[in-house]
Structure 1
Amino acid sequence: MSDDTTAPSTTPADTPADGPHVLAVVPAHVGGRAAGSGFAALLPAPARVTVVESVDEDPEALRTARVLITALSPVTAGHLAAAPELELVQCSSHGFDYVDVAAARERGVSVCTIGSSDAEKQNVAEQTFALMLALAKQLVPAHTALADADWALPRLKPSLTELSGKRLGIVGLGQIGQEVAVRGRAFSMDVVYAGRRRAEPEAEERSGARQMDLDELLRTSDYVSLHAPLTEATRNLLSAERLALLKPTAFVVNTARGALIDQEALADALESGALAGAGLDVFDPEPPPASLRLLRAPHVVLSPHVGGVTRETVVRIALAAAQNVAGFLAGKPAGDVVN
């Protein structure tokens, strides 16, 4: 890679100039050019790979790209219109909400995820329970108090609780939701779920979760964990009205997409005491602006979208995306097409 870290990086100069051009977009806040260069090495010759930190960074690379790989970087209708050679957009995630799928469909461009690889499910499920346990055991205020030489036990004792015996309401029983359900049962929780449709019998049997209407799930759950994809139908799924259905002793955990929750309404609920707390790994937008009220709301545990970026998960994601792109360039049908 060039010493000039502001310049796009490419594969070696001896790569055939007529090989298919791949544009890899890795924003700085998820690893940038260093991470993208490592990914580029996974693609076989004769692919030519250009690594950038935003789609707009190299207009010529976009114009000639046959494949665009994006790591949570938005791909708009304008980007698609500026890429006449484009045939495939590969999302390095289970989600695809940051790509204009309708515009891609109109252009005849396939949009793929890594959904069938299950690359992220283990760590997202673990992060979900890390947030749940931190909320139940008040780990953040306990740590902060002790670091300030404050023995906070008398103050924290009334709010400490157990997971055992509590109801865990999962919104979206896909692969990740199922992993969360299995862990919930291991903690002796009562696990229920809601979704657009009933899950397959095998998923219900494996997870041990019972289907429930969403509003009833919200009314009766002690922990509500979001694992739904972000679509126009699910944007602000937890609106002010739905948040008002939750018990004042309930906790909300979101490791899916920030826009599934009305963030202002959630801040209102936390500040007023209408909710016991929230654990958030995702925000809208990302990184969140310093003005986001949730960053200073009471009874929150926050993490910077780490649910899919352990050492193990990053390797699985990169391999899954690279394998799909390599297969496509070799003439095989693309996998996990969402449009």
Structure 2
Amino acid sequence: MTVPNVLAVVPPHMGGRAAGTALAALLAEHARVTVVEAAGEDPPALRQARAIITALSPVTAGHLAAAPELELVQCASHGYDYVDLAAARRQQVTVCTIGSSDAERKNVAEQTFALMLALAKQLIPAHTALTRADWALPRLQPSITELSGRTLGVIGLGAIGREVARRAAAFDMTVQYTGPRPAPAEVELRLGARRVDLDELLRTSDYVSLHAPLTDRTRHLLDAERLALLKPTAFVVNTARGALIDQDALADALTAGALAGAGLDVFDPEPPTTGLRLLRAPGVVLSPHVGGVTRETVVRIALAAVQNVTEYLAGRPPRDAVS
């Protein structure tokens, strides 16, 4: 019986070869695995690959064209924006995520609230000041605020958005959401969430949290025009994809004092370049895409991705296909 070839693609900023080797070990009994840090790094391995597992590393039309044996691209994430779906469909390659695995949604929700609390309580400037023996309370007090009694606007009430909304209840927040389709009535009732259109959500929310997939329709969903709808006391939190927000427009709004702050775990590109103005904008709390990559979550993500590939190689239909 021929042993199938699998390409494991883990870029340096996601752990590189060390993480890829650990991932490959999970597949060792089922496939011959080649570990690379970019899909085009080893052309012979790409050409022979029946499946690719990618950890946020691009799989382009060129990569797909160079892989005539390819049948499956498995994204080790909820998102799939780094895979050329149109090219995959043309080549009849199935693209899957780990969306139904429950691998990372709770941790992303935790990261969302970590950023919200850091913004509300001014933790970063308070910490920085105290490391210089600067008792900054009189200066910071006017800008320290609460979550309790505030309105949280959730953009995208999918699996992660629902986890965020569920946690908001513990903080006595009012939840409203927007999305292309209404959530089931029982979900809205359980979460106490009300559906509104995007512009109303932006005008009336104190905290706006993004949990939408990145597609052609959602790229720069929050552009300068929509950011201008937010209250000057509002905070924006993004733990989904960096390109959901026009980053220059957000930097402009923060610099002008048109927003109270932004908590960002994702950027466009990743890692961000030193020229990204948001890195130096006032009122930001930044983290390097750590939502979804705790010690525990990384294991769950790897197991979910490997299980899907293993099931596929055994002749069973894969889960969470998006193409």
Alignment map for 1:1-339 (pairs within 5 Å):
18-339=2-323
Q: Which secondary structure does the structure 1 equivalent of 2:27 belong to?
A: coil
Distance in 2, matches of 1:168 and 1:97, equals: 26
Q: Is the 8 A contact 1:178 1:206 kept in 2?
A: no
Distance in 2, matches of 1:264 and 1:129, equals: 24
TM-score if structure 2 supplies the norm length? 0.99
Distance in 1, matches of 2:25 and 2:206, equals: 46
Q: Is the 8 A contact 2:30 2:310 kept in 1?
A: no
| Aligned residue identity for 1:190 | T
| Aligned residue identity for 1:58 | D
Identity %: 77
Query: 1:46: Cα distance to partner?
Result: 4.1
Q: Which secondary structure does the structure 2 equivalent of 1:320 belong to?
A: helix
Distance in 1, matches of 2:272 and 2:189, equals: 38
Q: Deviations over 1:18-76 (max 9, x none)?
A: 41000000001001111111111111524100000111110000000000110000000
Gaps of 5+ in 2: none
| Aligned residue identity for 1:183 | R
Distance in 1, matches of 2:104 and 2:79, equals: 11
Query: 1:199: Cα distance to partner?
Result: 1.1
Q: Which secondary structure does the structure 2 equivalent of 1:210 belong to?
A: strand
Query: 1:203: Cα distance to partner?
Result: 2.5
Which deviates more from structure 2 when the two are superposed, residues 37-46 or residues 166-175? 37-46
Distance in 1, matches of 2:13 and 2:87, equals: 26
When the two structures are aligned, how many residues end up with a matched partner? 323
State the superposition RMSD in angstroms. Answer: 0.9
Gaps of 5+ in 1: 1-15
